[in-house]
Amino acid sequence: FQIAFFKRWWEEQDTEMHDKVRELVKNGQLEFINGGYCMNDEANAHYTATIDQMSVGLQFLQKEFGPYAAPRIAWQIDPFGHSSAQAGLSAQMGLEGLFFARMHYQDYQNRIDNKELEFNWVAEGGNIFTGKLFRHYSAPPGFCFASRCHDPPIVTNKKSPEYNLDERVATFVDLLREQADAYRSGHIMITMGGDFNYLNAHKYFKNLDILMKHVNADTANNGFKMIYSTPSRYMDAVLSNIKNLSNKTDDLFPYADGEHSYWTGYFTSRPTLKGYIRSMNSFLQACKHIELMAPATSYTSELLRLAMGVAQHHDAVTGTSKQHVADDYAERLAIGQTQCENLINTGIKHLTGSVNDLYSCRLAANESTCHITGDTTKSIFTFIVYNPRSIAKDIYLRIPMSSSAYRLVNPTDPTAFVSYIPTHYTSYQINPKALPIEAIVHLKVPGMGFTTFQLKKDFGIDYRIVMKSIPVVKTENIRIESESLIVYFDGESGSLKQVVDKKSQKTLRISAKFMNYRSNVGDKLDRQTSGAYIFRPVNGTVAQDIDRPILKNYLPGEFVTEVWQSFGDWVNLVYRVYVNKPYIEVEWTVGPIPMDHGREVILRYSTDLDSGKTFYTDSNGREMLRRVLDYQPTWSLNQTEPVAGNYYPVNSRISIKDMESHFTVLTDRSQGGSSLSSGQVELMLHRRMYKDDFKGVGEPLNETQFGHGLITRGRHWLFYSDLDSYGDHRDIGLDLFYQPVVSVGGDVEVGNIPRSGIQNTNKDLNVVTFERFDETSLIVRLENIRSKSEGGKMISADLKKIFGAYFSENFKELGLAGDRPIEKVVKDLKEHTKYDSGSVIVLKPLQIRTFILLK
């Protein structure tokens, strides 16, 4: 059930209807299930976005109906594969059961054979009863009574030439027997409905009443008794009859509904929309922070909250909608973003005591432009930077400028430094109005706090200070050294060759190249094509190199050094080595993809790590899951698609390891990825094709902009170290997720720099949520970011010290979604809180806890 739809209907109803519905809910006649603002995707949705969208829906139910409406069931019946993180988050929200409809066809048959379509999902954060619907979420074949269906109604009049009661009942009982043979409890759930059903509810229920009446009239012979029920009542009946359910500890990816129909293309489809949604996730957190810190204005975070809630839908962030629908998702996000920009700028203006207006430049966008800093008539620009992460960050801010004739003045951070670099030539392809120069400002920002600086025009400065490309002797390597790494590039091609981790003195041989798979348009084996959902390369082919890499620029700088590469006309790469960062930044720009045939573009990293067939991918940004090539842990896999069948969702990172070291790639959006050979990691960046895949979109995945194919740009962070430092990917990943928010003005007089909203120095402790809950309270979530296997330990967190003036002795813990008390979620409250003392709470590895602080 998706609250976005119900909420819209609810707001159109009068008081009389509200009272009727509330009475039905209170009496248990109307039951809500799932309760999220949408039914979110489970491959591409980041865990923070899932928590937010579920909270919007569940808190709406709590506000309108009180505890009577609190759902018990996670109803995830339409996503295209299911994650262990979703199961764990659902359990932490107090949901007791999870039902879904899509499962790999081989796993499905195996579970039918072993009567294990219902199981106990043991996930990080909690266990949850889980059930696979027998066929799908629609009515049994032949028994859809919706107006849009063509199945015959049940005719009971024996004088009618259409009389079919006996045949209809007998056929239905046969379907019941078939389903009952696949389950163990003596109870089965018959779903009667589907997409766009019940437009004529009277017709549907009339036929159901007839069917139930005549099946029940013959229970002694057919063995079945039918009742109207709900998923929660069904779950209770099952659990009362069966105790020894099997456990599941992995996930349900990848999903396939046929030998050559692997639903792994949507892990990458519409990469710019995926990137926009991920960046708006971080931006929304900053917006909610400042909404809490600053006095209320006419601007709120509500529009962006709701737009982000809808964007997690299983046909939104997945990239599996029609183009005009994808455009609508982006438009809704942009409207919410503008509202939050106004909120942030107004809030910062108040907090700083400024008398001048502030504006936003979307510095994280693909386009190197800013209407403020591009104004050549201005002699000074003021920047106020907010860090939404809960610990201090050392950041490199890239600001589009019209010229480099500006010096850094009045920084809050005395170590701040500016340098200038030419705008990358691909930026002009994305936007012909891109500004020619980028200022790179290196500065420190407190956790959930602010810093400020100005760039002031100095007519004694000219373009000579812009980082210049240095000629390279083609026979020599380019050597770049930072505090953590020594990195070598080929002097002729600019290709990455070797990375030395200075701490462990271990060396990684590595290369990176762009390749593409040719999209299948159907063949003799199967008519299945590649499309928005499906990834199916031409049978028997491997990825082909796109073009020979060419070194375009080598730009050494004091704080960052860049190496620019091109791979033909439509693929470009920038390597960045920062002096004080433990990773290499890879910025890729892909497009327009030629339309000579469908292409699926990948970036493949090849190393000398002996990783064998094993690799690791994250589950919605939470736990890392072990993957093995051509293998599934709970059934014997018959691999029929050796590339697509080994692709998994990479929500935020993918790793390979040997006995001593690891290589991890962190992503700025969800992508499909795999390790098809020892030592390799590949990530799919972009897709374009001219055939639909017949799975529901009804149009090819062929994104365009300004009359040509879409150009997309994104980033990978490459992290290499010994295994002792492997868990540091958690800290690095949060730095990539939480992007600074910048307000810009002219000669703005900043009266004071507001203090940080919180005080936190533990990089393993993350404040996931810091926002207004209602008129008298705020809601906070704290997270221990490391897993036990990564060296995570229990963390003590003093709420009073962390939240300072925002803390209240009158605080209480809630379930993860903030809609019910914690005692309604955990089975043993004493065990859950046994290490807590006063305002000090304890977080286990990877645990998230939610609290209400009363003002």
Which residues are the active-site residues? 78
SS3 of 375-404: the string is CCCCCEEEEEEECCCCCCEEEEEEEEECCC
Give the CA-trace dihedral at 57, 59, 60, 66, to 10 degrees.
130
**Burial, 241: exposed, middle or buried (Cβ in 10 Å; 0-12, 13-18, 19+)?**
exposed
Beta strands in 51-207 (DSSP E): 73-76, 97-100, 118-123, 126-132
Angle at 183 between CA 182 and CA 186, to 5 degrees: 135
Query: Which sign, positive or negative, has the C-alpha torsion 763, 586, 280, 381?
Result: positive
Q: Residue 811: beta bridge partners?
A: 853
How far is residue 431's CA from residue 89's CA, in Å, rounded to a whole number?
41
Is residue 72 helix, strand or coil?
Answer: coil
Angle at 258 between CA 256 and CA 264, to 5 degrees: 30
**Burial, 738: exposed, middle or buried (Cβ in 10 Å; 0-12, 13-18, 19+)?**
buried
How far is residue 308's CA from residue 333's CA, in Å, rounded to a whole number?
7
SS3 of 604-664: the string is EEEECCCCCCEEEEECCCCCEEEEECCCECCECCCCCCCCHHHCEEECCEEEEECCCEEEE
As given in the structure block, the two tokens for residue 747 are 């000669």
Query: Which sign, positive or negative, has the C-alpha torsion 310, 314, 316, 322?
Result: negative
- CB proximity list for 366: less than 8 A, separation 6 or greater: 272, 427, 430, 431, 711, 712, 713
Give the CA-trace dihedral at 163, 166, 167, 171, to 10 degrees.
140
Eight-state DSSP code of residue 30? S
**How far apart, in Å, are the Cα atoms of 577 and each of 379, 416, 444, 487, 497?**
32, 18, 18, 8, 14
How far is residue 627's CA from residue 613's CA, in Å, rounded to a whole number?
8
Closest among 439, 385, 401 to 743, alpha carbons compared: 385
Beta strands in 273-387 (DSSP E): 359-360, 380-386
Would you give the distance in Å from CA 779 to the centre of its chain?
22
**How far apart, in Å, are the Cα atoms of 21 and each of 27, 43, 417?**
10, 35, 61
Residue 112: count other Cβ atoms within 10 Å of its Cβ.
Answer: 17
Closest among 835, 217, 79, 758 to 449, alpha carbons compared: 758
| Token pair 């299948």: residue | 520
Eight-state DSSP code of residue 262? B
Furthest C-alpha separation in the chain: 102
Residue 473: count other Cβ atoms within 10 Å of its Cβ.
Answer: 9
Query: Which sign, positive or negative, has the C-alpha torsion 313, 316, 319, 322?
Result: positive
Helix (H) or strand (E) holding 456: strand 450-457
How far is residue 672's CA from residue 680's CA, in Å, rounded to a whole number?
14
Residue 7: count other Cβ atoms within 10 Å of its Cβ.
Answer: 17
Eight-state DSSP code of residue 723? G
